[in-house]
Each structure stands twice: as structure tokens, then as C-alpha cells.
Chain A
């Protein structure tokens, strides 16, 4: 069997590849009893003294490399920073590995580096190591590892969701994926859909500093909100009930998705966080999030439940099961 486009779309096909081919070939996947690779969490940890080092890596290719709302440089920084942030860690430093194709314009590289610098300043992280290679790739590839720190035992896991937790999304969903799709295919029209790519660590820090009990956190990137919720449900052994009318979506995204026939729940985000928060803390958490510019559209979209497994969305026409996306949508209606 060969790798197909379906493998890259996130969701179940990718998960299976990771489990069956990648994980199964590695023997040692954790250190000092920390969170290891096998957890498939957003990042892993290495306990040292009363702290844990939080470690993650992310490779980025995106077409086009400059898109409305950002570029591959900003995406690389935010992707890595956010993986650390949703572990409840304070991001400290990044590595930067650049693979450039022959013929890549140096002005473009300069622009990307300036954008990286800008994003690092926003996130308050340093690039402390790096590597540059020239190879026969199609376009620039940026891979970035990140290191953060968290108090021992305080890392927030995907699996930590508890029965009754409120599920909070920090803002409008579906923007990044649609913006990329539209600019890649050169859809030209007036609706402005921009990528939401942004570092979330400051906003998450505000929430955690206020003592909000966050049981689980994810950034809903590939596979979108649908994928993130399903992972949280599956890893905690619980179900999630969400309400369609509570899910924050901008009008532009909704109408574009309606035209294309794409479910915004399955579209990638790069500047949003999903939290499972102790129910009593949910309102306060929402207030804190909404004070931050990145969280102004935050909503409680539903609750964790032990009544069923999986993710169920209540709509005006009954309850819909929200699946882990499997790549491109497949017609099922007769």
C-alpha cells in the first residue's frame, strides 16, 4: 500500500497509519515516566525535579506559503507554540529547520523570517537552534520543535476530560482551512476569510493563572473541531454533547462552507483552543477568554457525558453523530 492524499487529511486514516506503521516500530517512546509518544497527545514531557520539560515538533508545508492572515513562517511558530500551550506549558524556545528548494527566492525567505520573528515576539519565545538544507522539494518546508515547561504533574492531557465538563471553544472555527483552500485555488471574490493563525499561549496562561480547572485541552488543527472533540471523547472514554446553535462560526465561513458543501466542523484552525473545563468554572473561564482579543468569540458549545461515547450534536432536526473526519467528504444522502 502507498501513502495517499487521504493519509494527509488528518482524521482516522492518518491515525491508523501512525498506530500501525509508526508507533508499532518504536520500542522506547517515553522518558522518566513522562508523557510519551504513545499517548499521541499534543506534546510529550520529561519530568525533571519538580518540573516537567514539555517537548513537541511540527513539520509545515502549506500551499500557498503566503495566504490571507499569515504565511508558513507564522504558521510554523504558532503550530509549535500552541501544541505546548494546550499542554498547559509555558513555551520557552523553538528550533527551526528549513528545507528549501533550489531556486527559492531569497526575498521570500526574508519575508518568512521576519514573520517568524514577529510571531515569536507575540508568543514570547526564542528560536535557539536551527538548520538549513537545500533539497529537491517542491516548496519550502519548515519543521520546528518546541520546548516548554510545566509544574510536575500539571500537564493537561487530551484524556483528562471528566463527566459533566463544559466544552469551550475559544472562537470562530473553520477560518484557517477555508482561507488556505480559497487562496490555493485562487478563488477570487469579496468575502474576506482570513487564517486565524495565532499563538495561544498568552490567552491560555490567563485562564490557568486564574485557577480555572481545565481538565483537557486541544488545538483543533487538522480534522478541525470534529477531530479534536472525537479525540478528547475517545481518550477519556466519555461522550460529548454539543449544540449546533452554540458553535461560533463567522457568517462568511458558514456561507462559504454552505456553498462548497464542506462541513466547517472538519476544517482546520490554527488559533483556537478547545477546553474541557470543570462545569462550575465554565462561566468564569468564558469571561476570561472573552477579555483576550483571540478569545472574544469564545462559547460553551456543550458538555461531556457518560451517557454515550462519541460526539453528538443537537440540531433543530434531531441529533447528529459527529464523526472523526476521514479525509474528503463522501456523499451518503440518497
Chain B
């Protein structure tokens, strides 16, 4: 008889790993035990040599679908160990600072779904049905190890029947921490806007469906957060929701069932696979020609629609007559999604007509993830539910615990331990106090659930006003090393880390705003990474941002600033035509531009797209992040769909600076000459993409590098980023693009971590 001990690290908790070990141990006639150690699983087995070998093979090859083995260590035990049988031992709490992982939430599995729809099952129509293969994880966990008493399921002691399943190693619900049933688990109830309970349990759900079909707006508390839900085909209710939320035009995501998807959207295999994956993100799909038959035009004014398939039992139960529902995070713009019953009722009063709530506490709120296919790849617009807090691994050496606080918008923080990057769930705009507090909570939480005892370094942005920076400075006051990384450097590092590419390269970082090394606002940058240094080798032309942040909100200001550079006072007359500003405002703008009062300098790519968006009367007021540029892209891609032509542009470049004044002025001239707005929009995209490509390629040739990359929020723009990719690859370079990390500021903290390690290692 041989005896061995195995330590398995990775995603091995809450995914049915121990019962799986039990099963294969039994199958291979082994004795011993398996035990959850908080951060890893310990297995001790005794048996015949060949049985043990087979066991180890099975361990690797037959592991449960949701599990992931990062590290498997095998120790030979000298002494004989006496076992009568193979057993599963209780979890052990460990203090050792070892990387452990709480799994992310998992969408309801097929087996549970089948049971839920089975009249004879004791969990028939019970929305909280879960097993080791599915259900909430991260959103209900308070601390490690992931055991029921460390989750909000501890409020619901198991009934006898459930306990039997929970204790049976051969049952699908063996040690399923979220398991429960109608007798012992959480309950749903429906309330009016005053919190008065109207119906409970199944009746509440039936009534909710009826109300939705009648055209009411419901707040639905789900697994890791709350959604506002309404019909998609009713202009009135969609507009009402828009008005109540103060969200005039940002597209709403919808939820629909697999069988209805083809009615209104186009998708390929990869998009479908993403949609039905257990991570179940929102996927941004192209609308098809029949879309308008099923949807109010107020759901999305773009050529795309964000769709999610149901991921909880409750979602499935909401479907009866409707083919889709608007399902949008219940939060006021910029503020965290509401999650506690009292808070939901208070904050959403006047927004939702009715409330479908339940009595399980949400511990960690987690917004839906959002993905879109760009450059033939599923890209994260937002990385959150289904992914957080599972780490991203990078081939990089590091022995410090590094906390990276990110930027300000679309914030996500990141804790780096060894080569593992733990990105928090999506946080949002931390310029808001409430969201800033959420950032701090999420950071404390990621530190806790990774069993981290100390932080060696904290990395932040260089913007002197970011709250995240102030938070980092506070930590630094307590003796933690503080390191600042320029915003677009962090974007570039994020791209390198995401591709495990650390050799010399040229990277474009394109976005809306970031504090530059020269104190100006950057956003259209080209860098060379060489000799462990990030060097700015090119950028967009500097423009004046008339009125600072106001130029972002009102893009005509940006347009005026750019045209003024070319034609001075004449530009005022052009802007006057839009009838957007008063005489007085225009008079002051002229003086403001002449005297450069509150006209910060920017090389932002987003602002140039904004200016053109307003020039073409697409957007005069930004109501959500990136709106003018996003709608300009929609206009351009609608044009491409109409007329498939390749256009030639000759971008003006001088000293590696792409001229944007002439771009904007030329667009103005085209508009004046009656050229199709869609074609002008398309021209602007190509001008920017080709111009930046040209600078990047020329420098890449000079520097003799192999790769050219693209990162930053503008790289979500399909037209620009696919054009740049084509240009780069046509010239024989490898194109670096994102995979596992968001392109935009959601990937900033990850880049800060990579940058810290690269810049401090030599």
C-alpha cells in the first residue's frame, strides 16, 4: 500500500470538488479523506499504486465543469495511515496567507432548471433552487472558507430533507452551500411602493408577471443586485422608466430566452456560446431587420442591443407571454446598484411601481457583466458578475501584495498577489461619494476573501483630484509604499499583461480623459515600450477643451474649440447655426477662447469624436459615458451597412502628431457641401484609425518591434479598432488586443499592477 497527500489549489470550493474527489476515490478503491483548507483542498489517500495513479489522472481529467486546478502538489507519505473508508472532513480555517479563491456566481444549471419546471419535484417553481454546479457564490459570501455559515445562507438552516442531500457525497447538492427548498430557504414577496406586502411565494411571482404584462415597472431583487424590469414593446412604459431614472437615451439591456433570440438579433456561434455560458453576461448583439417588430424604439437607439439570458430561477419564472424584458441595474446614474430591501424601497420609490423582493441578504453586490465581439473576440465592456473575484493570471514574477485602486470612471480595483490579479466587481464612478464608499468596501472585501494580511504597495493614477488617489494617499500615510502610474501608461501595461507580452512594442492608448505627464489631458497617445520605459512617441494634436468638463457634456463646445483654432471668430457663426447656445454664451465663449480661460489642453481621441458627433447633429448633450462617440459610431456603421465602399483618406501627420483640426474642418466642409452624414462619420473614423496606425507603424519599424497594440475606451469602437488591426497586420505586425481585461478604465487597475511590477523589476 502507498500513501500520498495532495494539495490542490485553484477554483476548488463551491464547485462540487470534494464530492467529486470522494466519488473517484471510491471508484479507485482508495481510502483516506478530503478536506477543505480554506485556500486549498487537502487529499490523503491510501491504496494500490496503480489505483492511486488512476485517481490522480481522474482528478485532472474528470474534474467538475466549474472547477479549475491551478496547482497540484503531491507528497509521498512515509508512514502508513489507517483508514477504514474514504471520508469528507469538515473545513479547516487557515490563517496562512495563501491565495484562495471564492468562485464567482454561476447561472442556474440545466438539471436545476429541469427540476424547477417539474411539477412533481419538491422544488417546483422554487426560484432559489441551486446545487454544487450552480447558484450564487461571491455575492453571498462574507468570508473564507466558502462554507454555508460564512454566507448569507446561514440565515436559512437546512430542513431535514435538504440536510440529507447536503450530507450525501453522492448527491448533486452535497455541500452545496446555497442549497435550500421551499420549506427552509428564502422566500419571495411582492410589495407595493410603500413596502406593503401584497403576495408571497409563487403567488407573488405570478402577480409580478401579470403586472409586467400590464405595463408596470418592477424592481426585482435578484441574486447579486436589483434590476428594474419592464416590457420591451411598450413605448409608454419604456419612456416612463427613462424619465424616472433620468436616463434619456442610454440603451437598456434586455433579458430574453434562447428560443426568442433569433427573432430580433444576429449572433454567431461564439456570441451564442458566451450568452449561454454559466457566466451568463450581457452580450451586445447586432439588431436584425425584424427587431423593430418586437421592441419599442426607446429601448436602444443604437444599431445594437445588449441581451442577457436568464441566469436565475426567478428570471425564468418571469417569462410567460413576453419574449423579452428590459432588465437594467437598479441604480441612479453613477451610484451603486441598490441591494438591501429597505434601501431598495427607499431609493426606488417613484421609480418602480411594485417590488418583487426576497429575504436573503446580498453580501456583495455584483452588476451584470457586459461583452461585445470586436476584432473577432469577445471583449469585456464590463467585467463583473460571473467573473469577479476570480483572478487573472499573468506570466510575471512578483512577491508583493499590491493594491491597485484604478481611476475614477468605470472603476474596478485590483489586488495582486504573486502572479494572480484579483479584479473586484464593477464599482462605477467614484467621483460620487456613495460609489467611492463602495470602492473602499470592495477593496476591503477582496483583501478579506483572499486572506491577505498585509499590503506592500498601493498604486494609483496621477490625476490629483481622483478620490481613488486620495484613498491611496491615505494608505500611504499608514506606511504603505505609494506608486503613481500615468493613466495611459496603465492602459498600455494592462494590454501587455492581458497578452502576457512584455517585450518591446508600440501601443496606442485611446480614450476620453487621463491626466498626462505634462499636466495636460491626454487621450490619443502612442507609446513605445523599450528598455523598461514607456515613452510617448506620438499623439493627437492638442486642442482646447472649452470650459473643461463642460466640453465633455456639451460636445458643441469641443467643436467650437477646434474650429476656432482654424477660422477664429467665424467658428462662432457656425456654432450659432445649431441654435443650442444663447448669444450671450457665444459671446463669452469667444472671449474665453481668445483669453484661454478654463480651456485646458487635451489630446483626447474621445473629444475629437464628440466634436464630430455634434457637428453632424448626432449628440448635443452627453447623457452617459461616451454617448456622442458611441452614437457617431452607430451612424457610421449604419452607413457601412448601406454602402460597402472602401474610402481613401490622407491623414495629416507632422512630428508624429495627427492633425485633428483639419479633420474636423474638412468634415465641416463636407457637411456644407451636402455630403451624407453617415459617410462623414465613417470618414472621421477612418482618418483617426489610419492616421494613428501610420504613426504607430512608422515607429514600430524604426524601433524594430514585432507587436503593435491598442487599448483604452476608444478601442471599444469597432470601426476604429478593426481598421487599426487591419492596418497593423497588413504591415506584418502582430496586433495586441484585449482578452480577459476590459479595454477601458475598468482595466486600469490591472494595468497599474502590471506596470508596478514591470517598472520595479530590474
A residues within 8 Å of B by Cβ?
A: 12, 181, 185-187, 189, 191, 256, 258-262, 312, 317-321, 323, 326, 328-334
Contacts and interface: CB of A to CB of B under 8 A. Distances in A.
Closest 3 CB pairs of A and B: A261-B547, A319-B433, A334-B512
Contacts of B595: 185
A183 to B, nearest CB: 12
B733 interface: no
Interface stretch (B331-339, B384-392, B673-681): B331-339
A49 B435 CA distance: 53
A250 to B, nearest CB: 16
B587 A334 contact: no
A174 to B, nearest CB: 14
B550 interface: yes
Contact of B606 (A259, A261, A262, A334): A334
B588 A318 contact: no
Interface in B110-167: none
Interface extent on B, as a size class? 35 or more
A3 to B, nearest CB: 16
Contacts of A329: 548-549, 598, 600
A317 B464 contact: no
Q: Chain A's interface: helix, strand, loop or mixed, by majority?
A: loop
Nearest to B335: A318
Nearest to A256: B588
Given A312-B433, A319-B432, A330-B600, 14 more contacts: A12-B464, A186-B591, A259-B584, A260-B588, A260-B597, A261-B598, A317-B333, A319-B434, A323-B465, A328-B598, A331-B545, A331-B551, A333-B512, A334-B552
Nearest to A241: B433
Q: Which interface residue of B246, B332, B408, B547 has the most chain A CB atoms within 10 A?
A: B547
A12 B431 CA distance: 19
A259 B625 CA distance: 21
B105 interface: no
A331 B335 contact: no
Contact of B332 (A318, A320, A326, A328): A318
30 contacts: A185-B595, A187-B591, A189-B588, A259-B588, A260-B597, A261-B551, A317-B333, A318-B335, A318-B432, A318-B433, A319-B434, A321-B433, A321-B436, A326-B464, A329-B548, A329-B600, A330-B464, A331-B513, A331-B521, A331-B549, A332-B463, A332-B549, A333-B409, A333-B512, A333-B513, A334-B511, A334-B513, A334-B552, A334-B625, A334-B713
B146 to A, nearest CB: 32
Contacts of B431: 320-321, 332
A333 B334 CA distance: 12
B576 to A, nearest CB: 15
A274 B625 CA distance: 36
Interface string B525-562: 00000000000000000000111111111000000000
Q: Which interface residue of A256, A319, A334 has the most chain B CB atoms within 10 A?
A: A334
Contacts of B13: none
Interface in B582-598: 584-585, 587-589, 591-592, 595, 597-598
Contact of B465 (A187, A318, A326, A334): A326
Nearest to B467: A321
Given A187-B588, A317-B333, A331 B602 contact: yes
Contacts of A320: 431-433
B585 A334 contact: no
A330 B521 contact: yes
A331 B548 contact: yes
Interface string B679-723: 000000000000000000000000000000000010000000000
A29 B745 CA distance: 47
A333 B552 contact: yes
Contacts of A262: 598
Q: Which interface residue of A181, A258, A323, A331 has the most chain B CB atoms within 10 A?
A: A331
B515 interface: yes
B436 A317 contact: no
Nearest to B519: A330
Given A261-B549, A317-B333, A330 B588 contact: no
Q: Which interface residue of B546, B552, B597 has the most chain A CB atoms within 10 A?
A: B597
Nearest to A12: B464
B547 A330 contact: no
B466 interface: yes
Nearest to B625: A334
B626 interface: yes
A318 B430 CA distance: 11
B485 to A, nearest CB: 17
Contacts of B588: 187, 189, 256, 259-260
Contacts of B434: 318-319
A256 B550 CA distance: 13
Q: Which interface residue of A256, A258, A321 has the most chain B CB atoms within 10 A?
A: A321
A298 to B, nearest CB: 26
Contacts of B513: 331-334
Contacts of B550: 258, 261
Nearest to B745: A334
Contacts of B546: 261
Contacts of A319: 432-434
Given A330-B515, A330-B521, A260 B552 contact: no
Given A187-B591, A331-B602, A332-B408, A259 B585 contact: yes
A320 B433 CA distance: 5
A186 B597 CA distance: 12
A331 B512 CA distance: 10
B312 to A, nearest CB: 28
A156 B551 CA distance: 43
Contacts of B465: 323, 326, 330, 332
Interface string B595-625: 1011010100010000000000000000001
Contacts of A326: 464-465
Nearest to A184: B595
Interface string B398-422: 0000000000111000000000000
Contacts of B597: 181, 185, 260
Contacts of A186: 591
B549 A333 contact: yes
Interface in B14-59: none
A323 B464 CA distance: 10
Interface in B235-290: 246
Nearest to A326: B464
A333 B465 CA distance: 11
Contacts of B589: 259
A63 to B, nearest CB: 13
Q: Which interface residue of A256, A259, A323, A329 has the most chain B CB atoms within 10 A?
A: A259
Nearest to A314: B433
A256 B431 CA distance: 24
B250 to A, nearest CB: 14
B548 A261 contact: yes
Contacts of A333: 409, 512-513, 549, 552-553
A330 B515 CA distance: 8
A64 to B, nearest CB: 14
A329 B550 CA distance: 11
Contacts of B625: 334
Nearest to A323: B465
A83 B170 CA distance: 80
A334 B430 CA distance: 13
Contacts of B591: 185-187
A191 B466 CA distance: 34
A321 B434 CA distance: 10
Interface in B428-473: 431-436, 463-467
Contacts of A312: 433
A189 B589 CA distance: 12
Given A318-B432, A321-B436, A334 B409 contact: yes
A315 to B, nearest CB: 9
Contacts of B602: 331
A17 to B, nearest CB: 15
A334 B432 CA distance: 14
